[in-house]
Structure 1
Amino acid sequence: MVLRIAVQSKGRLFEETMELLQEAGIKLNNIKRTLLIPAKDFPVEILFLRDDDIPQAVATGVADVGVVGENEYMEKDEAADIVKRLGFSKCRLSLAIPKDEDYKGIQWFEGKKIATSYPHILNKYMEKQGIKAEIHIITGSVEISPSIGLADAIFDIVSSGGTLVSNRLKEVEVVMQSEALLIATKNLPQEKKDILDELIFRIEAVQSAEGKKYVLLNAPEDKLDEIFDILPGMRSPTVTPLATEGWCSVQSVIEDKRFWEVITRLKASGAEGIIVLPIEKMIL
C-alpha cells in the first residue's frame, strides 16, 4: 500500500514542500522531468501537478493527499479535507487599485471592473459586502491590467507587495490569508490513513524543532530555581547531579529568537560551561 501525494511542480511551494519532505525522511530519486516518483524508504509516491490541479486530483482520488496553497483550495472549492496547516508559503489575497486613486472604502469597487485569477473567492467576498462589480478572469500577469486599461482594479496574491509597487498599485483590502495546506481525499482507506498519520507525525517533529536550540549547562544547586525561571523548557528542564558537590547539569530547549537574552541571564545567574546545539527533530 502506497500513499500518493500531489505536490506543486515548481515555484516556492514546490521548493518548501520538497525541503520539508526531505527533513521528514522522505528520500526521492532525481525528480527532473518525472511526473510520478516513489520514495526510496517510505510508502509514499510524489505526483507533480500544477497547483490549481491539486484540489481536484485529491477530491477525485487521483492523489490521496496533496500539498496546496490555501488560496487554490478555497478557489477550487473541491470536496477534500484539510488535515493539517503547514505554516509555510504564506501570502494573502488582496484587492489593489491604482496608486493615485482616492480610496475611502469598499464602496469604491461598486460598478468597477476587477481583474483576477480567483473569481470564486472574489465573488463570495463581493456578495458578502453587497458590492456589484464586473469580474474579469485572467490567468496570468493580473497586475498589469489597470495600466493597459483592461480593469479598474485587481484581486491577486500579495507576498511582499513589491509587484504592486512596481506596477503603481496599492493594496486596499485584504480578503484572506493563505498558507500551505495538507489536504486529503474523503474516505481514505485505513491502511493509507496509517501512512498519513506517520507522515504527519514526522512533519510535526520537524516543525517542532524549528527556531529552537538545545542548551546544556552547569549550575550551582542554590541557583536552580532562578535558572528554572529562565529555562522553562518543554515541561521542565532536565537536571543531573555532577561529581562536584553542590553542582548540577541542566538541559533544556530555548527559542532561537530569545537566544542571546536567555544566555545573558543564565550567565548572570551563575551558569557555567554553557553548550548550545541545533535541533533537527523534536518529538513532543
Structure 2
Amino acid sequence: MSNDKLTLALQKKGRLSDGSIELLKLCGIKVSNGGNHLKAVAEGFPLEILLLRDDDIPQYVADGVADIGILGMNEVLEKKKDVEVVRNLGFSKCRLSVAVPKTVEYTGRNFLQGKRIATSYPVILEDFLAENNIQAEIHSISGSVEIAPSIGLADAIFEIVSSGGTLLSNGLREVDIIMRSEAVLISNPNLSELKKKLLSKLLFRIEAVQKAKHNKYILLNAPESKLSEIISLIPGMKSPTVLPLAEKGWCSLHSVISEDDFWEVIDNLKDAGAEGILVVPIEKMVV
C-alpha cells in the first residue's frame, strides 16, 4: 500500500462494481479493467484499486490493507468492523426484507415468533429479532436463500430484495421491509494526515457529481414586468443570472433548480409568464 496514494477497495464484479466505476469516471478517475486480477490501475487521481468480494471489504479497510472502500450499507452493518461510513453514494439501492411463501398469511412481526428463518445476514437479523423481542431459529445460508422454504428448511427468509423477481420465481412474497441499503463510502478511522487530505479531495469530487445529478440548469425568457415574481420562484444557488434580450421589455434568466422540485417549479414558471423554458443536465456542480 502506497503512502502517497489512497487504496480503494471495490467489489470485483456486479451491479455495485459497475456503479462504483461509473462514479469514479464522473469524478475524472479512469479505472482500467482489472480482469481476473485483484488490482486495477487508476488514472486522474492518486488512487490504487483492490478488486474484492464485497463482504471482504470491511475487513480489508478495518485492517488498513485498504484505506477506503465502496460497498453496500448492509455489508457494513453485517460485518460490524471498525470502519467509518464517510458518505452515502445513492446507487445500488436495495432493501433487506422478510419474505414468506405466497400461501402463508403474514400477521405481522409476531408471526416470526418461534419460526425458522433462513438468511445470509444473520447478524442484522439477530439484531432485528432482539429489538423486537422475538425468539426465532436463524439458519445462516451463504447463497440460494430463497429456496429454503420450499425444501422445508425454513418458514420464512430474511434477504436482500431489489426488484422482487427472485422471490416471485421461488413462490415467495415480500411482507416486511426491515431496512433500506445503498452504496456507501467507508474509511479506515486511522488514516494519516496526507491520506485524509486525499480523501477530502475525493469527497469534493463526489459531492460535485452528486449535486449535479440532483439539480438541473434552467434557462427561460421572461417579461420584465413579471421579473420579480419569476425570480422568487427560482432563487438558484444564490440568485438567478438575468440578461437583457434584444427584444425590448424581455430578459433571459439562468438558474439551477432541484430535481425534486422540477415539475412544480416549471408549472409555476409557466403560470407566471415564463416562455422558452430550456432545461439542461449538469455534469458537475461546485458550490
Distance 1:92 1:192 in 2: 32
Q: What runs of 5+ residues in structure 2 fail to find an aligned partner?
A: none
Q: How far is 1:24 from its partner?
A: 0.5
Q: Secondary structure at the match of 1:22?
A: helix
Q: 1:99 to 1:196 in 2, by over 3 A?
A: same
Structure 1 residue ranges, 4+ long, deviating more than 4 angstroms after superposition: 242-245, 256-265
Distance 2:278 2:203 in 1: 31
Q: How far is 1:110 from its partner?
A: 2.1
1:52 alignment counterpart: 55
Q: 1:99 to 1:249 in 2, by over 3 A?
A: same
Q: How far is 1:256 from its partner?
A: 4.7
1:18 maps to 2:32: no
Name the aligned partner's letter for residue 202 of structure 1.
R
Map 1:80-91 to 2 at 5 A. Answer: 80-91=83-94
Partner of residue 38 from structure 1, selected from 41, 44, 69: 41
Partner of residue 227 from structure 1, selected from 230, 238, 244: 230
Name the aligned partner's letter for residue 156 of structure 1.
E
Partner of residue 93 from structure 1, selected from 84, 91, 96: 96
Does the 8 A contact of 2:145 with 2:159 survive in 1?
yes
Stretch deviating more after TM superposition (99-108 or 65-74): 99-108
TM-score, normalised by the number of residues in structure 2: 0.92
Distance 2:190 2:10 in 1: 20
TM-score, normalised by the number of residues in structure 1: 0.93
Distance 1:9 1:74 in 2: 20
1:180 maps to 2:193: no
Q: How far is 1:245 from its partner?
A: 4.7
Distance 1:172 1:277 in 2: 40
Does the 8 A contact of 2:29 with 2:45 survive in 1?
yes
Q: What runs of 5+ residues in structure 1 fail to find an aligned partner?
A: none
Q: 1:175 to 1:272 in 2, by over 3 A?
A: closer
Q: Deviations over 1:27-48 (max 9, x none)?
A: 1223322321231221011111
Q: Secondary structure at the match of 2:286?
A: coil
Name the aligned partner's letter for residue 146 of structure 2.
E
Distance 1:10 1:30 in 2: 11
Partner of residue 110 from structure 2, selected from 95, 107, 122: 107
Distance 1:56 1:30 in 2: 24
Q: How far is 1:60 from its partner?
A: 0.4
Q: How far is 1:242 from its partner?
A: 4.4
2:201 alignment counterpart: 198
Q: How far is 1:258 from its partner?
A: 5.5
Q: Secondary structure at the match of 2:150?
A: helix
Q: Secondary structure at the match of 2:226?
A: helix
Map 1:43-192 to 2 at 5 A. Answer: 43-192=46-195
Name the aligned partner's letter for residue 11 of structure 2.
Q
Q: 1:267 to 1:101 in 2, by over 3 A?
A: closer
1:278 maps to 2:268: no
Does the 8 A contact of 2:215 with 2:257 survive in 1?
yes
Stretch deviating more after TM superposition (111-120 or 157-166): 157-166
Does the 8 A contact of 2:242 with 2:251 survive in 1?
yes
Name the aligned partner's letter for residue 91 of structure 1.
C
Identity of aligned residues (%): 59
Distance 2:286 2:59 in 1: 33
Distance 2:99 2:42 in 1: 42
